[in-house]
Structure 1
């Protein structure tokens, strides 16, 4: 991996890790529906500006069904669930729950595509589950009964990403930028009818408004552009490594900015979840580095 790609990888992990921080800041005032409508709205507008600059025409009507499916499971539903959970759970907990999406993808693939799991992947799934229990168990004790639904929402958000991953394996072949652009506009349409039923919970401060703008423009719109550049330059396998860096930054930002505690359960739970995810996906940083070094030799 080149130094420029490595820098993009770190920036992307820091940005996506920061998304849970911004949600934590704004969720209690905006409420889930308005928070995510603003998030996907700002992201869609940002990607529209980029598409106009690049002269990329989005075939939204021709691929309406596809964009609505991916917009629901890859964006609207998980974003709403995480926004609901962010009203109660720490940013660090949310970021680690997010990293279980790969485990959910493998589990759903067993039933959807009749995929099989190796003994190593099965063990990794079990380790990941133990990690989640370790992480959220202490949080549930500290918060009380009110933590049950937010924790379930965070788990289901990761599950939704797993559904989206399996859907894309048989979905129409559309350019990744168009997928990002189209699914954001689809998410805008999906969430819009919810606004009258899930109102804002208060008058947002300037600080909270800036958090929402950053969430949409930086953590969604700009992050997608970074991700697609990384995939184009280094391949999907290298880009996958961002999954394992996001919780590091989610925990770091929560500790630095929101004074969230880092307890033994955070460290142990995060380690177990990331180790289990690597076993399920077969991702190995050392093996990836070795392949890159071999490929760069003359």
Structure 2
């Protein structure tokens, strides 16, 4: 099911929109942040985008929720309008800390709901591990969309290859080679190709949700991110394991959205997250959808957000 109306994203070459600001991290990286929605709303929703995307991937959720909550969006380091980072800081652990700094700077008081897609969800889980005192106090709810708590490369051909390279002691050398090669590949990189569209279609869409306009849109987002950024972050997914953070998320209402045809973070990972969180987690499984589920199944994802906000509001009323 394609989006109801063709969506166009603001180009990075355009001036930042009103409501934009910069949050500079403790290691000096400028993070681009945009604020929208109802300034006087009871709750703020803080959105974290996925790997090689930018905050614009939430555009349809921004439209749907701006009358319901105060909204904060940010570009993760190395992505979108945010500054780059030393290669050693291209980790989920660091993006979790960045998320905490964005939260401190943009939501100094009041309840906040954290929403994360793919790598953004991993950043949310990392923040829970790093600053558990926020959850159940400042953070009153979490939405995790097409993400994983770990084990992304344990199975399949890639999993076997990584295990072999690790066993031979060559993993760090392999990753350094990728990072060395990336700037050269970037110089000769072609964007907007038919091959790129086929790869995007295969990896980020499901069996019946790949409208040509949506595929081109996601291809545009992915190809905006330079290859050195992609290669630098690649290593962090090999060792990503935030399973322990799920015990912290048990303190607040959580909605987990998983897509049955997600080839990057398969639905089994979402189911596992919901199972480990337990009774406080609502699991929404979207049949036929792929990794870009917030774009291709907009109504379902927006409803998941609305239901979570309703659940949080009801819980706060009952507690008061």
* TM-score of the alignment, normalized to the shorter chain, above 0.5: no
Greater relative contact order structure (CA < 8 Å, 6+ sep): 1
Q: TM-score, normalized by length of structure 2? A: 0.24
Instruction: Judging by fraction of residues, say which structure has more helix.
Output: 1
Q: TM-score, normalized by length of structure 1? A: 0.26
Instruction: Judging by fraction of residues, say which structure has more strand.
Output: 2
